[in-house]
Chains A and B, each alone.
Chain A
Amino acid sequence: MLSLLSFGDTGYGAQLAFGALLTVEVASFGYALALVLGTAIALATRAGDGWRWALWRGYASIFMSVPSLLVIFFIYFGGGQIVDAALRLVGLSARLQVTPFAAGVAGLSIVYAAYLAEVVRSAIWNVPRGQFEAAAALRIPPWLSWLRIISPQVLRLALPGLVNLWIVVMKDTALVSLVGLKDIIAQAKTAAGSTREPFLFYIVAACFFVAMNWITFLVAGRLERRTARALTVAGA
């Protein structure tokens, strides 16, 4: 039975491996975009009031209250028309077909930008005020103080939330198979259908995700120690 997992003509090993790679790609691109967008939102809304805050609350309310699967479907079905309408405003026209890959990346990044913005902003808020004041008192230019003083502390404070959301995004990537992405789940489903061994292939897919979690925790542990090195006593 395990020969079904071999690479080559008789097994589904290669397909599953390609699927796994695609899953990791969608999750990585989606998460990276979400992190960029989320950090931008966090910086823009760090004052906690004004029109930007109102706008952000609307965004957060919508995308935190709707299933990510729905957002992915929305972009997959309607994304082409939205882009077309937007291009028409600047006098261009294009007939676009959104690929499952693009729909997955876009959907995940729009939804998880909201969650990541929460994590990053609360980390910024939890940096002691004295750190901002000390940087200002030393006449350190704001960009430099954000780069060298504030952001390392934000990273340390936000890390648990960031890691947690990476795992969530990773698992949500499974849903992109429902719009036709040939990820590990779609591959497992195909293999299960044609070999009539669903148990084997789904268990392999499940093991892949559990293993990815395990790797995440290993990497996160190292990162945590690294970002916390300012808090440890030298030589201890």
Chain B
Amino acid sequence: MIFDPHLAWQSLPQLLRGAAMTIMVTVPIVALGLCLAIPLALARLSHYRWLRAFAAAYVVIFRGTPSLILLYLIYSGLGNIEAVRASPLWIVLSKAYPCAVIGFVLVHSAYVVEILRGGLEAVPVGLIEAGQALGLSPRTLFLTVRLPVALRYALRAYQNEVLIIIKSTAAVSAITVVDLMAVANEIFYLTYDPFTPLIAAGMLYWGIINLVRGGFDLADRRLNAHLFAARPVRTTGRPAALFAVPQQGTIA
């Protein structure tokens, strides 16, 4: 098993272009995913039964389906429908990149809905009542009290989900988007070196993931500063875990 630094250095520009594509896929997924997830989380908590049912079905379907199937479904499935081909939507759907983004936005938002719902439900009732007592309109109350507090509660779970979606985007290579994973495979097929390109790509993924994780750590320290002052003393078996454990409902 040999890592060839020369080959790694030679293919670095290509790999970096791949990494740039991975980032270019991820950023709109995360941004659009959050935009889509906020109204859906509200629907999930709505007074109307049909809204709740719709949001619940959305979550069950898109959390339950592997992203690879959604990518195939959107990329090659939709193109098979005449009405889609004829519509202006085809300009978007005939290219692999938008299909990759749409597929992952559906999956990502379904997970974020549940994370946000958990955060929103954890906002203390007293805080909301205090806002109402001060005469805040429901809109202001939501935007300045409930949502920011919910985001703080949900930050760690949200971090896990974002890290997972970055790693999952490796699947976009299946629908011809040339991301980091695809570039590594291309180099393998050119050189038949099974180790160097994949290890180099792995290092770049490691760098991206840990940069994002560092960013979330900073955000956590800023937003949840009050929690860092007095972390509770553990009374159970062993010393405190050094890093947060992805627990139920947070992984992938």
Contacts and interface: CB of A to CB of B under 8 A. Distances in A.
B213 to A, nearest CB: 8
Interface of B: 1, 60-61, 63-70, 72-73, 76-78, 80-81, 167-171, 173-174, 181, 184-185, 188, 194-195, 198-199, 201-202, 205-206, 209-210, 235-239, 241-242, 245-252
Contact of B252 (A49, A62, A171): A171
Nearest to B66: A174
A47 to B, nearest CB: 8
A119 B245 contact: yes
Given A65-B209, A115-B246, A210 B1 contact: no
Contacts of A192: 72, 76-77
Contact of A202 (B73, B181, B199, B251): B73
A129 B236 contact: yes
A31 B202 CA distance: 23
A46 B251 CA distance: 22
Interface stretch (A4-12, A32-40, A74-82, A139-147): A74-82
Contacts, number: 173
Interface in A153-192: 160-161, 163-165, 167-168, 171-175, 177-178, 185, 188-189, 192
A: interface residue count bin: 35 or more
A68 interface: yes
A122 B240 CA distance: 9
Given A171-B66, A198-B77, A178 B238 contact: no
Interface of A: 46-49, 61-62, 64-70, 73-74, 77-78, 81-82, 85, 115, 118-119, 121-122, 124-129, 131-132, 160-161, 163-165, 167-168, 171-175, 177-178, 185, 188-189, 192, 196-199, 202-203, 205-206, 209-210, 213-214
Contacts of A47: 238
B167 A67 contact: yes
B68 A126 contact: no
Given A129-B236, A202-B73, A74 B198 contact: yes
Given A65-B206, A198-B77, A127 B65 contact: no
